[in-house]
Structure formats: structure tokens, C-alpha cells
Structure 1
Amino acid sequence: MAANTTLFTALLYFFGLLYTQVYFAYFRVHYTLLDQSVPEILMRGVNGLLLPLGGVGFACLVVLGVLRVLRAWLSERSWTRVLRVCAPVAAVVGVVLVGSAAFIALDPAPYRDLAGLPGLGLAVGALLLVFAGRRWGWGGGVRLGPWFGVAEWLVTYLLVAFGLFWAAGDYSNGVGVREGARMEASLSSRPTVTVYSARSLNLRAAGVRELVCGEADTAYRYRYTGLKLLLQSGGQYVFVQENWRRSTGTAFVIPRSDALRLEFTPPRTTPPQTC
């Protein structure tokens, strides 16, 4: 339980970290500027892997249910015959999956559209090869000692873990780009933010407007409109233009401080002409 829980937590963190890098790279912001906390990264890992983990869990439950039903309905002789047929099938499928994963690992670029599948293939293929080997009997009946069983499961666990990390890494890239594109498409429907600042922020980008308030005693003399808030994390605000596009858009990383005040209004709200 401890090993599996540790592996599961590491997978969530690994996926969340890579997803964070790819997502903010989509907006050309380096993720280290935001000082993302461990809970934030784990939350992104849970959010991104929720459906894949649910699908894998359901598939495993179906397989285990079918095995339980077959074991209950079939006689001992029929069950042994089924296992005898399954062993070579598992060996062939395992060799194909592991061989395909090794081939893709040599040059993964042409297979970017298969995000996550090579790693899962390696994990499943390793398990199938171990199943086939145990059915046939490793060593041809020669007693290899308890150390062999420990080494066998240790190597199998490492291969499965490697395959899962590989799958999570590939899948995180696809999810990060997809979520970045989704955010870009939905910017117009997000609340409009007006930034008030005690000092000039020199925000220069298409669609971003600076207005200097005339009152000398006002606490926030500079007003900036035409912005959308992307994130606040690690004491930093990340703003983008209302009309942000990946090819030409600009993102602004501004430290959070008492010199700033944010005002949120409904989407497409026209700001007043004066402060």
C-alpha cells in the first residue's frame, strides 16, 4: 500500500508539474516565475488525470470481474485449458507492446498524436510477459530461490512505473496545450479586469489602455483596461490582453502588492472614460 500510494502521488505531481510548464509556456510565461506550490501542482495533476485514471480503473474492474465469473463457472480442467491458451497470447501481445514502445522511444517525434499510449503499452506489456512466463515456468522447473521472485517483481514494478511516468509525461503535454487553447478561446467570456496602480506600470500592448487620473490626492493614479486575469499564484498576477492570440499576444507578470487594486466587471464591459 505504501509503495503504490507513493507511486500514485508521484504520478500526480509529475503530471501536474509538466502540465504547468506546458500550459504557461503556451502563454510564453516561464512557470518558475509563479512559484507554484505543491498543492496547486497536485490539484492540476488530479484534474488532468481524473478521467484517464477512472477509465483505467473501470477497465481493470471489468477484467477482474470477467476473470471472477469465468473462474466460478468453469471447471478446473476448463479453467486450466483457458490459462494454457492465454499464456502464448499474452506473450505475443506483450512482446508486441514492449517492442513497439522501445521502437517509439528511439524516435518519439512522429508519434506525438499517440500521447500516453506508448507508456501504457510498456506497462501492460511487461505485466503480460510476466504472466506468460509464470504460466510456462521460469527456468524450466529449476528452483531459482526466493531471490528470483523478489528480483522479478522488482523489475516488473520498475518497468510498470516507468511506463506510467512515460504515459503521464506524454499526456500532460497534450493536455497543457489543449487547456491553453481552450483558455485562449474563452478569454472573451471571462470577467474584464481593470488594474489601478499607484505608479505607472508601463503596460504596452495592443488593446491595453492607460489612463492617468487627474486627481492629485488619489491613491491609484494609473488605470489600465483591456486585460484579463489568467492566474494569481506565488504573489504574482498574470494578465493577458482581451484580444490575446498565441502568435502576437503579450502576457504581463506583475507582483502582487498594496500599490495595486483590481476591479472586475462582466465580459465586454466598456470602461468609463474617466477615473
Structure 2
Amino acid sequence: MADEPSTFARLERVASSAASVVAPLSVISALLFYFGYASSRAQYEYFGVDVDTIGLSTQDYVMRSPGPLLTPLLALLLLAVAVAALNELIRRRVAAAFADGKDPAPAVRDRSRRRLRRDRQLARAVVGAGYAVLLAGVALILAYGSLLNWPYYPLVTPLTLALGAALVLYGRRIDRLLDPRGAGRRPMAMSLVLVLGVSVFWATATFAQWSGRGSAEELALTIDRLPSVILDTTEPLHLTARNVAEEVLPPSEGQTYRYRYRNLRLLIQGRDRLFLVPGGQWSAEHSTLVVPMDGDVRLQFQFQNDPPFEVEPP
């Protein structure tokens, strides 16, 4: 019985450690899902398909998120490295100034006080500039109705808010470093951190949408790279795309498929249906064909046009 409290204590520590790991992983998974969903939605919307009709799973969206997230993550990492290097440089400068302030020579102490005063003024100027940029971001939000058609609004606005909040936070941090006796206002700092986090999330989501749209436009220019499909149906489809060839199959005993369509490409496969697009050069008259995977259609996937590489026998 004496070991029972210690056993419970160990279990509590294990549970606490597991919770500290599971919670961040859940947040990261949710973020990856959202960015993958935003990118996929913009990509397939270009082809006239609502991504919700495809039936992709949560894992599919998570696996699609690294592409649109790669560039903003690299930018944030490089920015973090630059800020860390700048912060280390400033800390060394401040530490040297405080050390000179304890020097027995009056001239050295005066020079240290002047340096600290200039640095404090610079830090407060950074805070003031940050508040100005932050107000500019707020003005952009208030002008949403007038700037709605500006294509760069969804990216410029969050970046402006993030830059303003970051400048204020960093300027206040340097000011506290120069004057440790000054008490910072914690609620204000927490509000700025929230503004920074939400703005970075907004900007990254916008970039994910743009990435999906760009991928769709690139795919439309190289549509023939997609798998080629021959589609047999029992009824005519009356497609609007002119470059899809329709062929009437000759009647035969036991043959239920009467029409054959060529020059179709597989855009994506859903749970129980295929999404086909016309091959060849992109045209505004093209549309996406939704084909259920049942007995009413027959599909053939063609080989690539390039022949396999043949190795000559020795």
C-alpha cells in the first residue's frame, strides 16, 4: 500500500506527458488538414468541381498540405533565423553597455548611459512604427468593402497586421531588456501575440489557396500528362468539348455498351466515381465529366505514348 501513491504519481506524470505531446500533434494535424483542404478546394474549383463531392479523406488532405505549406514554412524559418541572429547581437550589445556602466572610469559610464538611452529611443521608435503599421492593417480591414476586388487584399492585409504586431512585440521586448525595471503589460502582449498568430494563419491560408489555383492552371496547360482514358457507355453523353471523339460501337450479341469516347483524361478518383476532363489544348468550353464506377460504364486506361526502353542483349 505504501507504493500506491508513488504509482499513481507516476501514472499522472505519464498522462501529463502524453497530453503535452498529443495536444500539439492534434493542433498540427488540424492545421495540415485545413491547409490541404484550402489548396485542394481552390485547385478543383478551377475545373468546376466542388472538392466535397470527391470524397477525399482526412489523410488525403493532410498528405496534400506539404506542397502549399513548403514556401511559407521556409520563409518563416528563415525569418526566425534572422530574428534570432539579430536578437543575439542586440543582447550582446546591451550586456556590453551594462558592463561599461559599472566601469570605474566616469567617461566610460557616461558613454554607456548615452548608448543605452539611444537604444531605448530606437526601441520605442520601433514600437511606434509597429503601432502605425498595425493601424494601417486595421484600416485595410475597415476598407474591406471598397478593396474587395483587389486581388492582393487577402495577402497584404494579414501581412500588414503581422508586421505591425511583430514590430510592437519586438520593440517592447528590447525596451524591457534595456530597462529591466519597467513592468510590461501582459494583456497587451497576449493580444498582440493573438493578432500575430491569426494574421500568419490568414496569410498562410491565402497562400495555400493561391498555390492550389496555380497548380490547377499549370495542370490545365499540361493536361495530357494525366492518365488517358477510353470510356464506353450505354447512352450518348452529348459532351460539349469538341476534341472528345465519339464512336458508335457496332452491335453485337451480349454487347451493352454502344458508345465509345476517346481523348479523356483522369483528373482525380473519388470514393465511387471518376472525374474526367478533355485532353488536348485547354478551352473555356471544356467541362468535367463525373463518371460513377458501376456497370453502366466501362473504362480503359491507355499506355503512355513513349515506348519502353529496350536493353540490347550482350
- What TM-score, normalized by structure 1, do the two folds share? 0.78
Distance 1:203 1:41 in 2: 34
% of aligned pairs identical? 20
Does residue 265 in structure 1 map to residue 303 in structure 2? yes
Tell me which residue corresponds to 2:87: 67
- Give ranges in structure 2 of 5+ residues lacking alignment: 1-19, 99-111, 307-314
- State the one-letter code of the partner of 1:125: G
- State the one-letter code of the partner of 2:239: R
For residues 134 and 196 of structure 1, do their structure 2 counterparts lie closer, same or farther at Cα, with a shift above 3 Å needed? same
Per-residue deviation at 1:255?
2.0
SS in 2 for 1:231: strand
Tell me which residue corresponds to 2:58: 38
Distance 1:129 1:237 in 2: 52
Distance 2:89 2:34 in 1: 37
Tell me which residue corresponds to 2:249: 213
Greater Rg over alpha carbons, structure: 2
Tell me which residue corresponds to 2:199: 163
Kept in 2: contact 1:115–1:174 (CA 8 A): no
SS in 2 for 1:71: helix
Does residue 109 in structure 1 map to residue 148 in structure 2? yes
Kept in 1: contact 2:227–2:301 (CA 8 A): no
Kept in 2: contact 1:192–1:267 (CA 8 A): no
Per-residue deviation at 1:48?
0.5
Mean Cα deviation higher: 258-267 or 93-102: 258-267
Per-residue deviation at 1:89?
3.5
Distance 1:246 1:103 in 2: 41
Per-residue deviation at 1:94?
1.4
Distance 2:154 2:279 in 1: 31
- Structure 2 residue aligned with 1:241, among 258, 270, 278? 278
Q: Deviations over 1:173-224 (max 9, x none)?
A: 3223211110110113444221234x33625132222334333335755422
Kept in 2: contact 1:34–1:234 (CA 8 A): yes
Q: Deviations over 1:16-55 (max 9, x none)?
A: 2222222112111122211222122222322111122112
For residues 201 and 92 of structure 1, do their structure 2 counterparts lie closer, same or farther at Cα, with a shift above 3 Å needed? farther
Tell me which residue corresponds to 1:126: 165
Q: Deviations over 1:148-170 (max 9, x none)?
A: 63x34542332122202221232
For residues 136 and 70 of structure 1, do their structure 2 counterparts lie closer, same or farther at Cα, with a shift above 3 Å needed? closer
Tell me which residue corresponds to 1:271: none
SS in 2 for 1:75: helix
Distance 2:38 2:65 in 1: 9
- State the one-letter code of the partner of 2:270: S
Distance 2:77 2:163 in 1: 14
Distance 2:235 2:119 in 1: 75
SS in 2 for 1:265: coil
The Cα RMSD (Å) is 3.4
SS in 2 for 1:157: helix
Distance 1:20 1:122 in 2: 26
Distance 1:221 1:57 in 2: 58
- Give ranges in structure 1 of 5+ residues lacking alignment: 269-275
